[in-house]
A and B are shown apart, each in its own frame.
Chain A
C-alpha cells in the first residue's frame, strides 16, 4: 500500500496513464470480494434442492426374503423406488448362464449381478433404464417378455432372467443396488 501511495505522489502524471493506481486496486479488490461473496451465496440456494436429511435417512432398508418361494418375486421400495427381489429357479439360472455375454448390449454375467454363492437371488431396481417406467414380470401372471425376465410396457424393453436388456430401447441392464446378505434370509439394501 505504502509503495503504491509513494508511487502516486512521486510521479502522478507519468504513472497515471499506464501504471496501476491505488484506486484501481481498491476497485478490483472490492468488486472481486463482492463477486466471490455473491457466488458463495449461490451454494446454499442450490444445495437446498438436494435430498434433505430425512430423505437420506430412508436410504437403507432391511428385507426378510425367507417367504419368497423359488420362481417368485416381490416388489419393495427403496428410496421411493421399486426394488425387485426374485428367487430364480434352476432353469432360469441355467438360461441366464447360457447366454453369450459378448452378444449383449450391456455385457454382464449373472454371477456379476448376484452375490457369490447366492446366484438364485436376483435383486434389481424395478426401474427401466430407458425412461424410468416400472417393468412387468415381478408379480404372478404378468408379462415377462420374450426372455422370461421382465418386460417394460411403456416402450417395449425385454429383460432376461438376469434382468439384462435383450430387446427394445433400454440402454442398460436393470440396475443392481448395493446390498449385502446379513444372514441367509436377511438382506440389507443401500
Chain B
C-alpha cells in the first residue's frame, strides 16, 4: 500500500510497542490518516468533501441512535412520537433538526464530492473500484434517506413511500407482487413503517462498511490530484498528518458553520410543510415532490409521458435507474488518457453544461408536473444521457488536450496556469 517513501510507524512508548505486536490498530490509523499516508501536495479544497461526507455519516449515526431512543415505529404513534421529540425531549428539537438537515448536508457534500470526481477524472484507471464503490455508497444513501423520510409518518412520508414503492410496480408482470411485498400490504401501513425503521437503522452501518472498502481501494494507488499527473517522487507528496488533517479540519469548520446556519435559523427550509400533517391514506397532498436531493432523478422519471413500445411509466423508471447505473460504466465510456478537466478544454465546457443540466433537472423535478417543466426536463434528460453515452466517448477520441506538467511538484512550483498553457506560448513562471 502507498509509496515506498511513506513514513514508517515507529511507536516509542513501550506500551505502544507491546500493542503494535498484538493489535496493530494504531499502525492502521497511522498508515491511513496519519503521517504514514503520503498525499499529493497540490490538493485543493474540493478534496475536503470526502472527509466531510464521512463527518456527515458520523453526525447522522450519532443523532440517529439518539432519536431512536425516543421514536416509536408504530403507525398510530410515530407522528406523535416525532412531535414528542420536538416538544418534550430535552434538546430533542436540536437533535431532530440536526438529523433532518444533516441528511441534506450529507447529500450536498456527496454531490460536490461526485462532481469533483467527474471534473478531475477521479473515476479513471487505476481508481475504477474507488468510483464504483462510491456509487454503491450513493445508492445506499438514497435508500437510507428515503426510508428515513418515511419515519415521521406525515403526509409527505406516507405519499413518498407510496410513490417510490410504486416505481417497482412499473416492472412488467412481477412489478405489482414486488410492490406488495415491499410494503407488506396494498398501501404503506404498520408493516411498511416497521421494516423501514429496521432498514433505516441498518443501512448506515452498511454504508460505513462500504466506506472502509472505498478508502481501502483509494489507498492502493493513493489520492488523485488536480493535475491528474501520477505521483512520481517524494517531492510530490506530503504526509496526510499534519498537512491534510489541518486542511480538512479547516474545511470541516467552515462546513459545520453552514450546517449550523441551516439547523438553527432555517431548520424547515428544505422540508415540506405537508409533513407536519399526520399521514392520511385518503388524501394526497396537492404538490407531492421528494426531498431536494432526489429532484434531478424525479425529473428524469417524469420526463417520459408517451408509451413507445414499452409503457411510459416503465420508461421513466428505467431511465431513472439507468441515470445512476450508467455512472458505473463511466471509466470505460471516457477513455481519454488525461484525467484532469484542467487539461481538457472541450471536456471542461461540456462538464459545466452537464452541471447546469443537472441543476435544470433538479429545478424541474421540484416543480409541478406541468408545462414548461415537462418539456424542459425531457430535453435535459436527453442531454444527460447524451453527455455520458455520446459526448464523452467522442471527446476522448478527438479532443486535443493541453500538455501535462512533468510532475506535481513542478506544477506547484511553476504555477498551474503556466503549466496548463499549450507548449510554446507558455509565459515563464512569474516567481
Whether, in the assembled complex, A30 has its beta carbon less than 8 Å from a beta carbon of chain B, the answer is: yes
Given contacts A30-B249, A34-B249, A52-B84, contact A47 B91 (CB under 8 A): yes
8 Å CB interface, A142-190 against B: none
Contacts of A52 in B (CB 8 A): 70, 84, 88-90, 92
What separation, in Å, do the CA atoms of A44 and B84 have in the docked complex? Answer: 16
Contact with B along A24-64 (1 / 0, CB 8 A): 00000010001000000001110111101111000000000
Contact pick for A53, options B66, B69, B87, CB 8 Å: B87
B92, A45: Cβ atoms closer than 8 Å: no
Contact with A along B52-96 (1 / 0, CB 8 A): 000000000010001001100000000000001001111110110
CB-CB nearest in chain B for A56: B88
Whether, in the assembled complex, B253 has its beta carbon less than 8 Å from a beta carbon of chain A, the answer is: yes
What separation, in Å, do the CA atoms of A115 and B34 have in the docked complex? Answer: 67
CB-CB nearest in chain A for B98: A44
What separation, in Å, do the CA atoms of A105 and B105 have in the docked complex? Answer: 60
Given contacts A43-B91, A53-B88, A54-B84, contact A48 B249 (CB under 8 A): no
What separation, in Å, do the CA atoms of A55 and B250 have in the docked complex? Answer: 42
What separation, in Å, do the CA atoms of A47 and B69 have in the docked complex? Answer: 12
A-B Cβ contacts below 8 A, count: 39
Contacts of A47 in B (CB 8 A): 90-91
Contacts of B91 in A (CB 8 A): 43-45, 47-48
Residue of B66, B84, B90, B91 most packed against chain A (CB within 10 A): B90
The binding surface of chain A is classed by DSSP as helix
What separation, in Å, do the CA atoms of A190 and B406 have in the docked complex? Answer: 79
Contacts of A34 in B (CB 8 A): 249, 253
Please classify how large the interface on chain B is, using the bins under 10, 10 to 19, 20 to 34, 35 or more.
10 to 19
A49, B87: Cβ atoms closer than 8 Å: no
B95, A48: Cβ atoms closer than 8 Å: yes
A175 nearest CB across to chain B (Å): 25
A31 nearest CB across to chain B (Å): 8
Given contacts A53-B87, A54-B84, contact A48 B92 (CB under 8 A): yes
Please classify how large the interface on chain A is, using the bins under 10, 10 to 19, 20 to 34, 35 or more.
10 to 19
What separation, in Å, do the CA atoms of A47 and B88 have in the docked complex? Answer: 12
B2 nearest CB across to chain A (Å): 26
B425 nearest CB across to chain A (Å): 39
Contacts of A53 in B (CB 8 A): 87-90
Contacts of B70 in A (CB 8 A): 48, 52
Contacts of B87 in A (CB 8 A): 53
What separation, in Å, do the CA atoms of A179 and B91 have in the docked complex? Answer: 30
B405 nearest CB across to chain A (Å): 29
B66, A45: Cβ atoms closer than 8 Å: yes
What separation, in Å, do the CA atoms of A49 and B249 have in the docked complex? Answer: 30
8 Å CB interface, B211-264 against A: 249-250, 253
What separation, in Å, do the CA atoms of A55 and B89 have in the docked complex? Answer: 9
What separation, in Å, do the CA atoms of A95 and B62 have in the docked complex? Answer: 57
Given contacts A34-B249, A54-B84, contact A48 B62 (CB under 8 A): no
B253, A48: Cβ atoms closer than 8 Å: no
Contacts of B249 in A (CB 8 A): 30, 34
What separation, in Å, do the CA atoms of A43 and B95 have in the docked complex? Answer: 11
Contacts of B84 in A (CB 8 A): 52, 54
CB-CB nearest in chain B for A54: B88
CB-CB nearest in chain B for A30: B249
Contacts of B90 in A (CB 8 A): 44, 47-48, 50, 52-53
A166 nearest CB across to chain B (Å): 40
CB-CB nearest in chain B for A27: B246
CB-CB nearest in chain A for B94: A44
What separation, in Å, do the CA atoms of A62 and B143 have in the docked complex? Answer: 50
Given contacts A52-B84, A53-B88, contact A44 B69 (CB under 8 A): no
What separation, in Å, do the CA atoms of A48 and B69 have in the docked complex? Answer: 9
What separation, in Å, do the CA atoms of A30 and B94 have in the docked complex? Answer: 25
8 Å CB interface, A81-126 against B: none
What separation, in Å, do the CA atoms of A45 and B95 have in the docked complex? Answer: 8
What separation, in Å, do the CA atoms of A49 and B253 have in the docked complex? Answer: 28
A44, B95: Cβ atoms closer than 8 Å: yes
8 A-B contact pairs sorted by A residue (CB < 8 Å): A30-B253, A45-B66, A45-B91, A47-B90, A48-B69, A48-B70, A48-B92, A53-B90
Residue positions of A touching B, CB distance < 8 A: 30, 34, 43-45, 47-50, 52-55
Given contacts A52-B88, A54-B88, 15 further A-B contacts (CB under 8 A): A34-B253, A43-B91, A44-B90, A45-B62, A47-B90, A47-B91, A48-B66, A48-B70, A48-B90, A48-B91, A48-B95, A52-B70, A52-B84, A52-B92, A53-B87
In the A-B complex, list the 10 residue pairs whose CB atoms are closest, starting with the nearest. A44-B91, A52-B88, A53-B88, A47-B90, A54-B88, A52-B89, A50-B90, A44-B94, A48-B91, A48-B90
